[in-house]
Chain A
Amino acid sequence: MMNLRSSFFKNLLLFGLLSVLFLTSCKRVVKTDLDEVSSADDIEEVSKAEYQQMMNIKVPLKTVLVDQRYSITIPENSDFEVSKMSSKEIVLGDIDLTKIDSSFLNVSLNNFFTRSEGLYSEEVYIVPGNDPKQFSIDDLKASNERIDAVYYEDENSVIYVQGDTFFTYSIHYDDMKKCFIFYKGEISWTQKYPKKQKLALSLLLVKHAKSLTAMDYPPVKFTSWNDYVQHMPVLEINWINGMFSKIEKELKFFLEPNEQSSPRTPGNYTFVKLFRPSPDELLSFYKGVDQLKANKISETDYYSRPEILRLDSQFSYQLREEMGCYVVIASSKNDDGSISRKETTVFCPVDYKGKTFILKTDKDLSPSDADFFVKMFSYFSKHYTINTTANP
C-alpha cells in the first residue's frame, strides 16, 4: 500500500516537473526592431520656434505673370499651369468657388516631388472680388466636416488634418488687383509618412503660401548638395535618401557589367537610372558627349547608340558641363522654328573601385530641376552616398 502511494506521488512529481518544463521551455520573447518602428506618432501644435525655424528656411523664388495680369511669386523649381474655368467642383473649406459669381483662375504648381510621385499638391486660386472682408481664414475650415486637429493658425493661414490628410490653406487679398489669392496645399493620407514629417512639410507650404505676394526677396542660390539638404523638409530628404540607398547598394554590390537599374519609388515610379556600361557603351557615350560639345552630329549617329545617350533627329541639343556632370537639353522645334518642348537630362560618370558607372535622370526634367540633380549626382560621385550626415 505504501509502495503504491509512494509510486503515485513519484509519478505526480514527475508529471508536475515535466509539465513545468514543457510550459516554460519554449517561451522566448524575441523583440525585433520591426515592432519598435510604430512608436508614438503623436504631434502637437506648432510652437513659435518650430514656425520660425521653417520660415528661416531658404527657398529660391521667382515671380511669374499669370494670365498676363496677375503676378505671383512661387518657388524657383516649380512650374505652373493655369486653367480659367475648372470643370471639377472646387471647395476650399466652406467656400465653393464654382458658386461664386465671377470666373476665377486655377494655378497648379508642380515640382519634381509633386509631378509624378505626388508627395503633395499645391494649388493657387485667384478670385476677383471687391470686398476684402468677403472671406476670412475661418471660411477655409470646413464647418460641416470633422477636423481632427488644427496644428497652426494665424491671421491668414491654417494647417489642419482630416484623417491622415494634411491641409494647408491661406488667404490674401490684393488691394491693387481687387482679388483674393487662395492657396491650398495637401498631403494625402495615401502618403504613409510620420505625422511629424507631414506637419513639417505643411509648414514649408505655409511659407510657400506667404511668399505668393512677395515682391521683394533676396536672390537665393544653393552652392552644394549639403546646402540643398539643409533647406529641404525631412520628408523629401528621406524620400530621396530611401531611393539612393538602393542606388548605393547597386553601385557597391549588386550591379553587374552591362546591367542597369532604376529603383522604384514608393509610388511605383522611377527617377534615376544607374548604368554599368561595357567599354564599348562607355566609349559611345563619350563620343556622343564630344559630338554634342562640338555641335556636330552626323546623320548616322541618330538612334544608333545604346540607351544611355540616345540622340533623336527631331531634337536640337545643348550640352553644358557642371561639377563633373553633363546637362543635356533637348529642344524639339515646330515647323516655324519655334521651340515646342524642352527636355533636360543630367548625366554623371561615377568611378567606384576602378569601375565606371553612369548616373542618369530617368524622367524628363524641367530646366529648373537640373541644378538640384547636378548637386546631388556630383555629391554621390565623390561620396558614393547622398546621405550628408555621413559626410557633412
Chain B
Amino acid sequence: MYRNYLFSALFILGLSSCNPIGKELTVLELTPGEIASAENISLKKGDVVTIWYKILKSSKDEGSTFRVKYNIENKGQSILFDSLNVDAQDHVINSKKTKESYNESSSEGDSTIYYTVHEYETESKKFTVPKDGKYSFDFKLTERSNQSSFFGNKLSIVLRKS
C-alpha cells in the first residue's frame, strides 16, 4: 500500500522540480517610445518561446492603458509582427503585493499615506520556433492615452523557453 504513496510522492516531487514555465532567456525593461531588443538568441525548431509581461503597479498612480508591439526576426527577415495581448490574465505567476507608505505634509499636519504595490507576471503570447537558428525579439511600448502617464509603473518583458 505504502508503495503507492511513495510513487505518488516521488512523482509530484519530480514534477515540481521541473520548470513548468520554462527557462528564462532574458528580461527586457520597456521604456515608452523606445524599442528594446533581445538579439541573437539560438533556438531549435519546435522550441516554444513564451512572452510574459512583468508588471509593477502602484495603487497611488493612475493606471495607464498601453500597448506593446513586437517583431521577431530570423536572419534579418521579420517572421512575425504583432501586438501583445495586454489584458490576458489567464496565467498569472509570481504575484506579490506589498504595502508601502509615504509621509505627506499639509496644513493640517503630517499624515502617512499607504498604498499597495502589485508585482506579477502574466503570460501573453507563445511563439513556436519554425527552424533552427538565431532569433531577435524587438518590443516597443506605446501609451494609448495621453491623459495618464506610465510613470510609477514598470513594465518588463520576460522571455522563457520550454
Residues of A within 8 A of B (CB): 11, 14-15, 18-19, 21-22, 25-26, 28, 30-34, 245-246, 249-250, 252-254, 261, 263-264, 390
Contact = CB atoms under 8 A, between A and B. Distances in A.
For the complex, would chain B's binding face be called helix, strand, loop or mixed by DSSP majority? strand
Contact of B14 (A21, A245, A390): A21
A34 B71 contact: no
Interface residues of B, number: 31
A33 B34 contact: no
Contact of B42 (A28, A32, A254, A261): A32
A261 B18 CA distance: 43
A32 B39 CA distance: 11
Given A11-B6, A18-B10, A33 B42 contact: yes
Given A14-B7, A15-B6, A249-B71, A263 B41 contact: no
Interface string B5-46: 011001101100111000101100001011101101110000
A264 B31 CA distance: 10
Contacts of B154: none
Given A246-B35, A261-B33, A30 B161 contact: yes
A253 B10 contact: no
10 closest Cβ contacts across the A-B interface?
A26-B18, A22-B14, A18-B10, A33-B40, A254-B140, A253-B71, A246-B35, A33-B42, A30-B23, A253-B81
A90 B140 CA distance: 45
B119 interface: no
B126 interface: no
Contacts of B10: 15, 18-19, 22
A14 B78 contact: no
Given A15-B10, A254-B71, 16 more contacts: A11-B3, A11-B6, A14-B6, A18-B6, A18-B14, A25-B14, A25-B18, A26-B19, A31-B42, A32-B42, A33-B41, A34-B25, A34-B38, A34-B41, A246-B35, A249-B71
Interface of B: 3, 6-7, 10-11, 13-14, 17-19, 23, 25-26, 31, 33-35, 37-38, 40-42, 69, 71, 76, 78, 81, 134, 138, 140, 161
Given A32-B25, A32-B42, A26 B33 contact: no
Contacts of A22: 10, 13-14, 17
Contacts of A390: 76
B144 to A, nearest CB: 12
A252 B35 contact: no
A259 to B, nearest CB: 8
A274 B71 CA distance: 19
